[in-house]
């Protein structure tokens, strides 16, 4: 497929280039009356309330200019995007041409019924038995402006008189100070994002940021690379410039994670920081443990220009989180499984009364975009993260063991049949250079979410006219 110039006025801005988000509110809703909501959606578009890629680019320029002119003074800003579950799209638009099977099932059907999530651990709002979710609008920016914008939209556009029932609101907030851009376990997040051909500038080799360019159709529908450019697998023109969005709430058990590192590192002849770096795949600064296995090097915090040794897990275990979800040399198709991550932390910092166990809910509102949930999030979660044999064929390099499940976000099997299924196990090289393994209970818990489609502006406009 020949790549045409992208229409930045037709793509929602969080897909690309991403919305600025010091603070974010997710407003999940059900559509009680499509006939009442369609004219309201039309009004929402006419008032230009949905932030496009062009808007996001201009916002970035405005923020950069403000920082130069008024250093230390916060630029108040808010941006809005919207997305719909398959159930919500069925209510709003008669087109039934969605090709992605997980999207059609929804997250509960995919991650609970066929995956390792436990429905009793999900927030009630996301359960199908309570009606589930039809859509979400989310507002990103600075806290004051975000809350004002969310309140305005809820009052004038998303209310019962307009055919909308509010289900739940989730709040995400970037951490402050030295923890800025770090998730709650303490590691720098969102370092290695796909760079899209025709959208992003290509990196030059040697600057540390170089990586293979991703065909834009792996993230955005209707562009080069979508489903390998196989016509029978691709969406129709109506879906162009849209993207599938996964929203998933992960609670993180931070005190338990830190206590595990302290206790287990002694057994493995490592320091807690060394063990944590091996489990994550990067040091807390972001420096790759593959390049610096023994000591952090903050100067390489955002280093992307490296590869793993496909015949060794000595520096970075094969089951380290960063290696599991982006295996680099061990992934045969370099961009098929790429996702664009846009997550944000939620919840308070760990308090002084939480030295031994978690008492308050905190974690990550994980979000990501892709043109195929099957190839993106689902493949990564099921076949990479939770599969103890991935990457395949590594037993000879790690003492005749399997690599193990993802160290950070791995999940137990739904119905453990024996003791080994009641823990996660990871092959690791200890501080003496010996192949061994370590076991632990999961450090995260899924509280649910759903699969959405983020339509283009033109599809949103078509939705306002659609009739069954």
Instruction: Judge whether 341 and 183 are in contact, CB under 8 Å.
Output: no
Residue 86: per-residue pLDDT? 97
> Residues of the chain whose pLDDT is less than 50?
none
Residue 134: CB atoms within 10 Å: 26
Half-sphere CA count of 162, side-chain side, radius 13 A:
18
Asked if 197 and 260 sit in the same domain, the reply is: no
Q: Which of 189, 296, 406, 450 is catalytic?
A: 189
Check: CB of residue 418 under 8 Å from CB of residue 217. Answer: no
Are residue 174 and residue 151 in the same domain, yes or no? yes
| Residue 84, CA distances (Å) to 126, 215, 251, 360 in order | 14, 25, 24, 30
296 shares a domain with 183: no
Structural domain contains residue 236: yes
Query: Within this chain, do residues 233 and 94 fall inside the same structural domain, yes or no?
Result: yes
421 falls within a domain: yes
The pLDDT score that the predictor gives to residue 94 is 83
Instruction: State residue 1's pLDDT score.
Output: 60
Whether 1 maps to a domain, the answer reads no
Could you tell me if 108 and 223 lie in one domain?
Answer: yes
Give the structural domain span for 310: 256-337+380-445
pLDDT at 208: 77
Residues 242 and 270 in one domain: no
Active site residue 189: yes
Asked whether residue 10 is domain-assigned, the answer is no
Answer yes or no: do 34 and 125 share one domain. Answer: yes
Residue 271 φ then ψ, to 5°:
-85, 160
Residues with Cβ within 8 Å of residue 378, at least 6 apart in sequence: 102, 110
Note whether 100 and 136 are same-domain residues.
yes
In a domain, 15, yes or no: no
Residue 80 lies in a domain: yes
Count: domains in the chain: 2
Structure confidence at residue 3 (pLDDT): 64
| Residue 406 CB coordination number (10 Å) | 29
Residues 267 and 218 in one domain: no
Residue 198 DSSP code: T
Residue 17 domain-assigned?
A: no
What is the DSSP-derived secondary structure letter of residue 1? Answer: -
In angstroms, the CA 420 to CA 160 distance is 50
pTM of the model: 0.96
Residues in Cβ contact with 111 at an 8 Å cutoff, skipping those fewer than 6 apart: 117, 381, 446
- DSSP string computed for 66-129: HHHHSTTS----EEEEEEE-HHHHHHH--------HHHHHHHIIIIISSSS--GGGS-GGG-GG
Answer whether residue 368 is part of any domain.
no
- Average predicted confidence (pLDDT) for the chain: 95
Do 230 and 293 sit in the same domain of this protein? no
Verify that 275 and 133 share a domain, yes or no.
no
């Amino acid at each position: 497929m020949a790549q045409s110039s992208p229409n930045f006025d037709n793509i929602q801005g969080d897909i690309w280039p991403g919305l600025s988000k010091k603070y974010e509110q997710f407003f999940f809703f059900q559509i009680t009356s499509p006939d009442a909501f369609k004219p309201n959606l039309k009004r929402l578009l006419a008032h230009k309330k949905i932030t496009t890629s062009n808007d996001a680019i201009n916002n970035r320029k405005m923020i950069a200019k403000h920082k130069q002119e008024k250093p230390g003074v916060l630029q108040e800003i808010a941006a809005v995007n919207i997305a719909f579950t398959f159930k919500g799209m069925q209510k709003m638009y008669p087109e039934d041409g969605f090709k992605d099977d997980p999207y059609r099932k929804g997250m509960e059907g995919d991650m609970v019924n066929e995956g390792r999530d436990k429905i009793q651990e999900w927030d009630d709002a996301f359960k199908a038995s309570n009606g589930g979710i039809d859509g979400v609008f989310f507002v990103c920016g600075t806290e004051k402006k975000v809350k004002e914008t969310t309140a305005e939209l809820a009052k004038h556009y998303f209310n019962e008189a307009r055919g909308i029932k509010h289900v739940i609101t989730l709040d995400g907030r970037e951490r402050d100070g030295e923890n800025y851009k770090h998730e709650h376990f303490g590691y720098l997040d969102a370092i290695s994002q796909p760079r899209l051909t025709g959208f992003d500038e290509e990196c030059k080799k040697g600057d540390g940021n170089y990586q293979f360019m991703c065909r834009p159709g792996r993230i955005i529908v209707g562009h080069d690379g979508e489903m390998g450019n196989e016509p029978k697998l691709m969406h129709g023109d109506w879906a162009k410039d849209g993207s599938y969005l996964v929203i998933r709430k992960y609670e993180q058990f931070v005190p338990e994670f830190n206590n595990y590192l302290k206790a287990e590192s002694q057994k493995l002849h490592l320091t807690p920081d060394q063990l944590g770096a091996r489990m994550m795949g990067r040091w807390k600064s972001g420096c790759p443990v593959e390049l610096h296995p023994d000591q952090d090097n903050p100067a390489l915090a955002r280093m992307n220009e490296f590869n793993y040794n496909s015949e060794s897990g000595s520096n970075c275990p094969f089951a380290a989180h960063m290696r599991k979800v982006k295996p680099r040399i061990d992934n045969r198709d370099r961009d098929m499984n790429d996702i664009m991550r846009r997550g944000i932390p939620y919840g308070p910092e760990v308090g002084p009364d939480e030295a031994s166990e978690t008492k308050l809910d905190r974690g990550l509102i994980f979000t990501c975009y892709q043109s195929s949930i099957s190839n993106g999030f689902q493949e990564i979660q099921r076949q990479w993260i939770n599969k103890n044999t991935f990457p395949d064929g590594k037993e000879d390099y790690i003492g005749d063991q399997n690599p193990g499940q993802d160290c950070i976000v791995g999940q137990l099997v739904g119905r453990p049949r024996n003791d080994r299924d009641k823990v996660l196990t990871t092959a690791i090289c200890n501080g003496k250079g010996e192949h061994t393994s370590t076991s632990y209970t999961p450090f995260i818990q899924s509280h649910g979410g759903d699969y959405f489609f983020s339509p283009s502006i033109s599809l949103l406009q078509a939705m306002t006219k659609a009739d069954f």
